[in-house]
Structure 1
């Protein structure tokens, strides 16, 4: 799999840093009880923290919002996924266990306060291009994920 960063993204976010981690021979299954318990406990501790401070006061969230504005995306309309997870926790709508891959992905997204994605390489064909999404793409993506 080859990953490239679009010229448009490079121009709008010249200091942007992106990472890809590839794992092989991973079995996705129900999460072990230890992971489910750790994710739940971590969400509970975040919930308590968020009762005393605003999400707008978390430096990483401020940086993500600034980045979204820099690439021309309204972060109040299309939130960074890490912020969406924090807002759910703030409302005590904890993220339920899904499976081992999604649960570890959500845990690290919460822990590091960054947006993460997880994809099955067997289902990716061709080059992956990191670029700025369009509203049309967003609408198509939402429709395809709901099907």
Structure 2
């Protein structure tokens, strides 16, 4: 799949790494009990970490905040995707199991504090483009038919369902994670995803 990251993004946010993973011939369904249990236990652990606050002071949150302000100065005062995930957990409002694709993605996003978005690749029409958005969504994802998603996941025209056979996964790594470490994290994610869903995958590093 042809995927383009606008150069202005890496110019403003030096050190930001982005990857797109295309999974093919996968089977999405109910999550294995192991995955459901790990997702729940990890959220409970995060609840104890942030029940008394401190989310906005976490180093990884501050890094994303600074990064977003470089991308879009108007971002000042908005919350990052990581805060949006952690705030409900800090109030003991845990994510319930949705399906194997979402649960795997949510587990890695929470474990490594990374924004990860997924879309049904079978409904996309090349070229896929990642461009600057506004303060509410920061980055926009579009194909030849227009915008289908954004960085804060407030837009998703092509959600992954049990009918999805091919999936696009977009992942962003902050500058504090070196490229070599990002490669290892992504390898761990894709390996676990294929163990659960079958199929094959192709990684595209976006620069």
The TM-score, its normalising length taken from structure 1, stands at 0.84
**Matched ranges for 1:70-109 at <5 A:** 70-72=70-72, 73-74=74-75, 76-77=77-78, 79-109=79-109
Deviation at 1:143, TM superposition (A): 7.4
More helix by share: 1
1:14 — aligned with what?
14
Confirm whether residue 120 of structure 1 aligns to residue 120 of structure 2.
yes
Cα distance between partner residues in 2 of 1:89 and 1:136: 21
More strand by share: 2
Q: Residues 86 and 100 from structure 1, CA distance in 2 versus in 1: closer, same or farther, beyond 3 angstroms?
A: same
How many residue pairs end up in the alignment? 143
Q: CA RMSD in A?
A: 2.5
2:197 — aligned with what?
none
Structure 1, unmatched stretches of 5+, are none
Structure 2, unmatched stretches of 5+, are 139-146, 158-207
The TM-score, its normalising length taken from structure 2, stands at 0.61
Instruction: Please say if residues 82 and 113 of structure 1, whose CA atoms lie closer than 8 Å, have aligned partners that are also in contact.
Output: yes
Q: Residues 27 and 76 from structure 1, CA distance in 2 versus in 1: closer, same or farther, beyond 3 angstroms?
A: farther
Cα distance between partner residues in 2 of 1:9 and 1:32: 38
Deviation at 1:11, TM superposition (A): 2.6
Q: Tell me the SS of whatever aligns to 1:18.
A: strand
Q: Which moved more, 1:105-114 or 1:15-24?
A: 15-24
Cα distance between partner residues in 2 of 1:104 and 1:111: 11
2:34 — aligned with what?
34
Cα distance between partner residues in 2 of 1:25 and 1:128: 20
Deviation at 1:42, TM superposition (A): 0.6
